[in-house]
């Protein structure tokens, strides 16, 4: 019994590899780019030891350090107190992002990002 062996050219093998990598990359982007964060706008109040943002249905506590924020020059900071929420800033409207967390019937909404690109000038006292 004679056997026939099919060979795949190196060029076709390379093309199939590229197509597989593109498909895998696209799938990874789709699954990795989904976020459960909600972007909101609220009234920010800032003091020496605390920051809060109030919306129509919730008051959010903002960490004094450890929250991501974007400055007025569009630079993303991974930590530090947001410049637009310094203690000497009057109340103003700010955009921010929060996620909802529920564990054992307790729910909270940690703030994960602050947008300091607008509103800072009008908020200075």
Please tell me which residue, 111 or 13, carries the higher pLDDT value: 111
Q: What is the pLDDT of residue 41?
A: 96
Q: Starting at the earlier edge strand, list the strands of the sheet with 76-77.
A: 59-62, 51-54, 38-46, 92-98, 111-115, 68-70, 76-77
* 56 domain residue, yes or no: yes
Q: What is the pLDDT of residue 88?
A: 87
The CA distance from 47 to 42, in Å, is: 16
Cβ partners under 8 Å of residue 111, min gap 6: 53, 60, 61, 62, 63, 67, 96, 97, 98
* 30 domain residue, yes or no: no
Residue 7, classified by CB atoms within 10 Å of its CB into exposed (0-12), middle (13-18) or buried (19+), is: exposed
* 52 domain residue, yes or no: yes
Residue 72: give its domain's CATH number.
Answer: 2.40.50
- What's the Rg (C-alpha) of the chain? 24
> Of the given ranges (6-20, 32-46, 47-61, 108-122), which has the lowest mean pLDDT?
6-20
Please state the domain count of the chain: 1
Please tell me which residue, 18 or 37, carries the higher pLDDT value: 37
* 16 domain residue, yes or no: no
Range of the domain at 116: 38-123
- 122 — pLDDT class (breaks 50, 70, 90): very low
* 89 domain residue, yes or no: yes
* 11 domain residue, yes or no: no
* 94 domain residue, yes or no: yes
Full-model pTM: 0.67
């Amino acid at each position: 019994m004679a056997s026939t062996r099919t060979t795949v050219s190196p060029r076709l093998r390379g093309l199939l590899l590229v197509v597989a990598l593109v498909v895998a990359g696209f799938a990874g982007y789709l699954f990795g780019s989904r976020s459960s964060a909600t972007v909101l706008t609220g009234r920010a109040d800032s003091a020496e030891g605390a920051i809060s943002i109030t919306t129509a249905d919730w008051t959010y506590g903002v960490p004094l350090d450890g929250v991501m924020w974007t400055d007025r020059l569009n630079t993303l900071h991974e930590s530090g107190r947001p410049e637009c929420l310094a203690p000497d800033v009057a109340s103003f409207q700010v955009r921010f992002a929060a996620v909802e967390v529920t564990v054992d019937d307790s729910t909270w909404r940690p703030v994960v990002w602050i947008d300091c690109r607008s509103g800072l000038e009008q908020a200075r006292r």
